Amino acid sequence: MFCYQCEQTARGIGCTKAGVCGKDGVTADLQDVLTHLAKGVAMLAHRARQAGGALDPEVDRFVVEALFTTVTNVNFDADRLEGLIRRAAEVRARARGLYVEACARRGLEPEALAGPVAFEPAADRQGLLAQAAGLGIQARRQSLGEDRAGVLELALYGLKGAAAYVDHALVLSERDEALLGWFHQALDRLAAEPPLEELVALSLEVGALNLRAMELLDRANTGTYGHPEPTAVRVSAVRGKAILVSGHDLKDLALLLEQTAGKGVNIYTHGEMLPALAYPGLKRHPHLVGNYGGAWQDQQREFEAFPGAVLMTTNCIQKPRESYRGRIFTTGLVAFPGVTHVTSEDFSPVIQAALGAPGFTADEPERRITIGFARNAVLGVADKVVAAVKAGKIKHFFLVGGCDGAKPGRNYYTEFAQSAPRDSVILTLACGKYRFNKLEFGDIDGIPRLLDIGQCNDAHSAVQIALALAQAFQTDVNSLPLSLVLSWYEQKAVAILLSLLHLGIRNIRLGPSLPAFVTPAVLGVLVEKFGLAPVTTPEADLRALLRTA
């Protein structure tokens, strides 16, 4: 195995024997085979679309799911991955059929395609693992060189991140045919392994694609559950039986809320599910009582202490401790060997586990934090914000957040938020916010100094807010008194970074360390073109950002 797709990669170089995340070599190699096959499906689906062939939702969905499955901390289960590889071969045959049929209708000769289209997966596990050696990153590093292979991975990881968002939207029946076609086209171009300059351009195009994916998911979430609204949510436990829901899939939470109504079980959010508590369509359930715990990397300690059942709807799952292995469940694409996998149609095993567990025996002292400042809520008070800026009461905006991780060095974000001047407003999103979201920041003329925009995909909201501010001040986003200080961990953060670069946003600070797949030469391009810089110390970065504002 060789994997360097996330920030915690071994020694900042790459995981080779086993992943720091817990992914074993077999799983990593099978993920490489699956990714290769997904490219083959996309190549054929792209050509079928171009030839005016019929659209096949199963083919579209499979490509998205295959990529999402390989995102960090989603699927650790080699058996499930092998099953997906077998299915990929079937789906590819369907896509081939669409292409051949479309060509026949138009009197065209189908292209003779090699690479991922011609690849035949071996019949057994050992054979697949032997094939994986030629399909992974190391093989590409040898054939393409470090720079080209690295940028190819950059674009691929962006696509993986975007796939997660598209999948969540598809779950809520929100489809964008053009976006799905764009996905196939991007994978087709990636599979052709073009020259470096083209790969850099493709990476920025993936950023554009991801913007559209986040917009699609925003439409799906707000169309189904309403616009998030500022909500003081409870972050301390209440007496009673309990289920803790983590991950990002709002529909899973909604279905669980319906299936637990009247059963005497309280539902809590964990990690990236926290923003769900601000959606009118979800918070209307009285047994959705609040949030428990913090970000994903605290789960082993927090799940162990939680006296109920735990449901993981997506990443980030970690290897469960024995103490809670019998009461943690996965659903959707997330999977871990030995953990019971349930479907959202029937969460009864989760409910039974919660009823069998002790639950909280007493109310904890009530504590609340306010969330729900997505685009609709912030733009609803835009006049007030603009007036505070014009009156000199708000001098700067910081967007501090992103994906959190387990490596030391992430206290930077806590210290940065705490050191931000009193006349600045901090916008935050994704699980990185747990570094400071329970601290007191006060307000400026009634505008909270800490505005929690939501999940990582709500970067779409952050972009809308920035664009609206730019419009109000008749300028562009780069000329606003706005600085982005982002933490990254996995591939959704890569997708978001590419989206911001695609928008031409400059001087982003990125940490806690830079991606291993970005070589010094490629970093040089990003620094020169976008002023992208690694984080240093909170004091030095604050000084520099306020000076250049």
Task: Supply the minimum distance, in Å, between the C-beta of residue 516 and ligand SF4.
Answer: 8
Q: How far is the CB of 10 from ligand SF4 (least distance, A)?
A: 6
Nearer to ligand SF4, 231 or 457 (CB): 457
Tell me the window of 14-22, 210-218, 439-447, 466-474 that interacts with ligand SF4 (CB under 6 A). Answer: 14-22
What gap in Å lies between CA 59 and CA 45, rounded to an integer? Answer: 7
Site string for ligand SF4, 480-519 (x = CB under 6 A): ---------xx-x---------------------------
Rounded to 5°, angle at Cα 414 from 9 and 403: 40
Backbone angles phi, psi at 397, to 5 degrees: -115, 140
The residue among 3 and 254 lying less far from ligand SF4, judged by its C-beta, is: 3
Nearer to ligand SF4, 247 or 359 (CB): 247
Residue located via tokens 């976006």: 179
The count of residues in the chain is 549
Nearest in space to 339 (alpha carbons), one of 76, 82, 87, 125: 76
Tell me if 20 contacts ligand SF4 by CB under 6 A: yes
Tell me which residue has tokens 């995102």: 71
Rg, the chain, Cα only: 23
**Is 72 one of the binding residues for ligand SF4 (CB under 6 A)?**
yes
Residue 26 in the binding site for ligand SF4 (CB under 6 A):
no
CB of 430 to ligand SF4, least distance (A): 4
Closest distance between ligand SF4 and the C-beta of residue 293, in Å?
A: 12
Interface residue with ligand SF4 among 32, 205, 249, 272 (CB under 6 A) is 272
Quick one: CA dihedral 154, 209, 175, 373, positive or negative? positive
Place of tokens 């975007």: 162
Q: Is the dihedral of CA 413, 418, 421, 427 positive or negative?
A: positive
Site mask, ligand SF4, residues 452-481, x = CB under 6 A? ----x-------------------------
Edge-to-edge strand ranges of the sheet holding 509-511: 450-454, 424-429, 396-402, 482-487, 509-511, 533-534
d(CA 346, CA 352): 11
Centroid of chain to Cα 347: 24
Scanning residues 293 to 332, which ones bind ligand SF4 (CB under 6 A)?
A: 296, 315-316
Among 8, 344, 428, 483, binds ligand SF4 (CB under 6 A): 8
x-or-dash string of contact with ligand SF4, 379-418, rule CB under 6 A: ------------------------xx--------------
User: In this complex, which beta carbon is closest to ligand SF4, that of residue 42 or of residue 429?
Assistant: 429
The structure tokens listed for 521 are 């030469």
- Which residue lies nearer to ligand SF4 by CB, 8 or 35? 8
Least CB distance to ligand SF4 at residue 30 (A) = 13
- Nearest of 82, 87, 81, 89 to residue 118 by alpha carbon: 89
Region label for 487, one of left (φ > 0), alpha (ψ between -120 and 50) or beta (otherwise): beta
Contact region with ligand SF4 (CB under 6 A), list: 6-14, 333-341, 462-470, 499-507 = 6-14
CA atoms of 126 and 132, how far apart (whole Å): 10
What minimum distance in Å lies between the beta carbon of 167 and ligand SF4? 13
Q: Which stretch binds ligand SF4 (CB under 6 A): 20-28, 43-51, 98-106, 350-358?
A: 20-28
- CB of 43 or CB of 171, closer to ligand SF4: 171
**CB-nearer residue toward ligand SF4: 225 or 296:** 296
Closest contact distance (angstroms) between CB of 402 and ligand SF4 is 7
Give residue for tokens 């025996």: 361
SS3 241: strand
Counting contacts by CB under 6 A, is residue 431 touching ligand SF4? yes
Minimum distance, C-beta of residue 19 to ligand SF4, in the bound complex (Å): 3
By CB under 6 A, residue 69 contacts ligand SF4: no
Q: Helix, strand, or coil here: 151? A: helix
Helix (H) or strand (E) holding 370: strand 368-371
Q: CB of 310 within 8 A of CB of 318?
A: no
> If you write DSSP's letter for every residue of 53-112 in order, what string do you get?
PPP-HHHHHHHHHHHHHTSTTTB--HHHHHHHHHHHHHHHHHHHHHHHHHHHHHTPPPP-
* Type of residue found at 169: A
Closest CA to 511 of 535, 542, 493: 535
To ligand SF4, the closest distance from the beta carbon of 98 in angstroms equals: 32
Please name the residue that has the structure tokens 């972050």: 235
CB contact set of 158 (below 8 Å; sequence gap of 6+): 203, 206, 207, 209, 210, 491, 494, 495, 498
* Nearest residue (CB) to ligand SF4, 132 versus 456: 456
Using CB under 6 A, which of the segments 4-12, 82-90, 122-130, 479-487 binds ligand SF4?
Answer: 4-12
Minimum CB separation of residue 269 from ligand SF4 in Å reads 12
354 is an interface residue for ligand SF4 by CB under 6 A: no
Q: Which is nearer to ligand SF4, 23 or 375 (CB)?
A: 23
Structure tokens at 397: 């905006």
Instruction: Note whether 428 binds ligand SF4 by CB under 6 A.
Output: no
Pick out residues in 213-252 that bind ligand SF4 (CB under 6 A).
248
Min dist. Cβ of residue 82 to ligand SF4 (A) = 18
Which residue, 68 or 373, has its beta carbon nearer to ligand SF4? Answer: 68
By the criterion CB under 6 A, which residues form the site for ligand SF4? 3-6, 8-9, 15, 19-21, 23, 28, 72, 248, 271-272, 296, 315-316, 403-404, 430-431, 456, 489-490, 492
